Amino acid sequence: MSVLDNYTGFMVGQYENFPQSRYLTLVVLRKAESEMIFRTEGSGEGLARDSVHAGLQEREIISRVTISKRKQTAVERRTGREILRQHNLLFSAENKGKREESDDNICALNRNKPCGICADCMIYGYAVGGGGAQKSRVITDDAFSVLAYQTVTAKRTFNALYDNNTMRDPVTGQPSSSIQEDEYVKPETLFIDMQTLKDLTASEIRYVIANVLRSRRYGAISSRLGKMRNTIVGAIFSDCELFSNLELTQTVYDRLGEDGRQFPLDETTVKSKIIGAVTDLGNEVIGTLKPIPDAELTELIGEIRQTFTSPTDVKELLEAITALYPRG
pLDDT at 123 over 80: yes
Q: List, for residues 233-279, the tens digit of each pLDDT value.
A: 999 999 999 999 999 999 999 999 988 899 999 999 999 999 999 99
* Alpha-carbon gap, residue 254 to 257, rounded angstroms: 6
pTM of the predicted protein model: 0.90
Residue 288 pLDDT: 95
Range of weakest confidence among 38-42, 85-89, 174-178, 260-264: 174-178
Residue 100 pLDDT: 53
**Average pLDDT, whole number, for the chain?**
89
185's enclosing H/E stretch is strand 179-185
Q: What are the CA-CA distances from residue 272 to residues 145, 249, 312 (Å)?
A: 17, 13, 37
Q: List, for residues 209-238, the tens digit of each pLDDT value.
A: 999 999 999 988 767 788 999 999 999 999
Give 69 or 328, the one with higher predicted confidence. Answer: 69
pLDDT at 169 over 70: no
Residue 321 pLDDT: 97
**Mean predicted confidence (pLDDT) in 33-41:** 83
Burial of 282 per CB tally in 10 Å (0-12, 13-18, 19+): middle
Residue 92 pLDDT: 84
Instruction: Map out the domains of the chain as residue ranges.
Output: 3-87+119-155+187-322
As a residue count, the chain comes to: 328
